[in-house]
Structures are given as structure tokens and as C-alpha cells.
Amino acid sequence: MNNSVDIENLFKQLAFDARNLIKKHNKYKTLDKGTNDIVTSLDLLIEKHCIKEIKKKFPNASIISEEFNTNTTPQNCTFYIDPIDGTKNFACGLMLYGFQITYTENNETLASVVDIPELNLMVSSTNNNGTFVNNVKTKIKTKKDIPHSVWVVEGNYNKWKIANLLSTKVLAVRSIGCSSVPLALMASNKLDGVIFYRQMKSWDLLPGLHICKNAGICYEVNNEFCIFAKNKELLNFALKEITEYKKIKNKILI
């Protein structure tokens, strides 16, 4: 087994490297990437840098990443890289984007870092050591009721319908446009719940899932949706609202 603390430190360095590359290359290209999607030259540059540095220390490890290694099969030791999560936000000049990376052995996640450069927010985690926000161990404040809770809802176009259902029962509902930012904010006690109503890619989900799980956040993950909540009451509330949405959706289809 590799030392997860050493890997976490490598991830932190790669996150700082990504910040520096973004500052250094303020002129970058934006390219079309399929339908309604884009990629920037900085996505590619950061990912190449991370792959190079990981291969120096772990030449035999498998790497799955958003731009160059999307179809790689996970092995016993696997790294997952998302160089710029929220590329559309980044390309538009919005601050809500992040860098995320994680490491697994035999399908168990051992170390992760989620970094939000513009917010100066780095969240890191290793198994059996908890989750740290800017190197300070986080403690989730679980006492929050439904009417005063703040949620983020992400996903495909159906997210707006689910957000609408929630909005009449909670304090506020927002949509950010990526996975790294809301889950980093969850681990930092800035949000009470996050819903992703879509199937997520491994590099989108695994880092945030790991930091939230090790912080003690409740969650429910399947192929259709992912829910993160500060306590069981909020989690069950979100599950109920999704069930109600499905009933409404099925009635419309009939």
C-alpha cells in the first residue's frame, strides 16, 4: 500500500502548480468539445503536467483523467484527475471552478484534494485522518433544519424542476455549474445540502465524495443522482423530494 499522506502532499503540490499555471497563462485558447461543451488549452496543460508528475513517482499506476485518459480501465492503483472542473465558468471569467484529484487502491479511495483557486479554498482528505480545510481539520455543524437550509442543485435540465420543488420548503437553492465548488463548500460548512441529478463521471464525483465522507457528511449515491447533506433529516428530505419529482414526471409522460 502506498503512503496516502505522501500522495496527499503530492496532490497539494499539484493543486498549487495548477494555480500557478492559471496565473502564468492568462491568455489561453477555448475549443469546442462535443455538443454544448468546451475545453481550454489550460485544461490540457494542467492535466499533462499532473500526469507527468504522477508518472515520475508512480510509473506503473493507472491514470483516469477528463481530457486524455477518459477510457482507461481502473487498476489496483489508480489516479483520477479533473484539471479544471467547471470549464465553462472558468472560460467566462467566473470564479466558480476547481481542480480535483484522487487516488484509489483496489477501488478504495485513499487520498483526495479539491482546490478552488479563486476562493483560496483547498480541501484535502486521507482515510482515517479526516478532512482538512486549508490544513485545519473540519467539523461539520449538523444542527440545521429544513426551512433554514441552503442547497445547491446541479445536473441536466431536470435540475431546475427539482430546485423548484425544494425552493418552497428551504431557505435558498442555488446552481453553480460544477461539482468541485459545492462539495468543497459542503466540507467547509458553507452549504447544508447538494444534489446532483445525473450520472457523474468518476473524476467529477470521487474527490468530492471522499472529502465529504471523511468529514462525516451524509450521502446517497446511485447511477441517477447523488445527494450530500449535513444530517439524516436533510438527506431524507432530499430523497423524498426526488421521489415526488419522479411521480410528477411520470404523470406528465402518461
pLDDT (tens digit, 9 = 90+) per residue, 177-210? 999 999 999 999 999 999 999 889 999 999 999 9
For residues 251 and 43, give the distance between their C-alpha atoms in angstroms, rounded to a whole number.
42
Please tell me whether residues 128 and 151 are part of one structural domain.
no
Q: Is the pLDDT of residue 254 over 50?
A: no
Q: Is the pLDDT of residue 236 over 80?
A: yes
Please tell me whether residues 63 and 80 are part of one structural domain.
yes
Confidence band, pLDDT 50/70/90 cuts, at residue 150: very high
Please tell me whether residues 9 and 91 are part of one structural domain.
yes
Please tell me whether residues 91 and 191 are part of one structural domain.
no
pLDDT in tens, 46-81: 999 999 999 999 999 999 999 998 888 888 999 999
CATH label of the domain that carries residue 212: 3.40.190.80
CATH label of the domain that carries residue 88: 3.30.540.10
- Helical segments of the chain, H only: 4-24, 41-57, 87-91, 159-167, 180-187, 202-215, 232-253
What percent of the chain clears pLDDT 70, i.e. is strictly above it?
97
Please tell me whether residues 114 and 194 are part of one structural domain.
no
Q: pLDDT value at position 250?
A: 65
What percent of the chain clears pLDDT 90, i.e. is strictly above it?
83
Please tell me whether residues 133 and 151 are part of one structural domain.
no
Please tell me whether residues 68 and 90 are part of one structural domain.
yes
Please tell me whether residues 131 and 159 are part of one structural domain.
no
pTM: 0.93
3-state secondary structure 36-63: CCEEEHHHHHHHHHHHHHHHHHCCCCEE
Given a contact cutoff of 8 angstroms between Cβ atoms, the answer to whether 82 and 204 are in contact is yes
pLDDT in tens, 80-122: 999 999 999 999 999 999 999 999 999 899 999 999 999 999 9
Please tell me whether residues 132 and 158 are part of one structural domain.
no
Q: Is the pLDDT of residue 142 over 50?
A: yes
Q: How many domains does the chain have?
A: 2
In the chain, the amino acid numbered 85 is D
Mean pLDDT in residue range 213-230: 95
Please tell me whether residues 116 and 176 are part of one structural domain.
no
Enclosing domain of residue 174: 146-253
Last residue of a domain, one of 137, 160, 184: 137
Confidence band, pLDDT 50/70/90 cuts, at residue 157: confident
Please tell me whether residues 119 and 228 are part of one structural domain.
no
Please tell me whether residues 11 and 125 are part of one structural domain.
yes
- Return the closest-CA partner of residue 220 out of 202, 203, 242, 201: 242
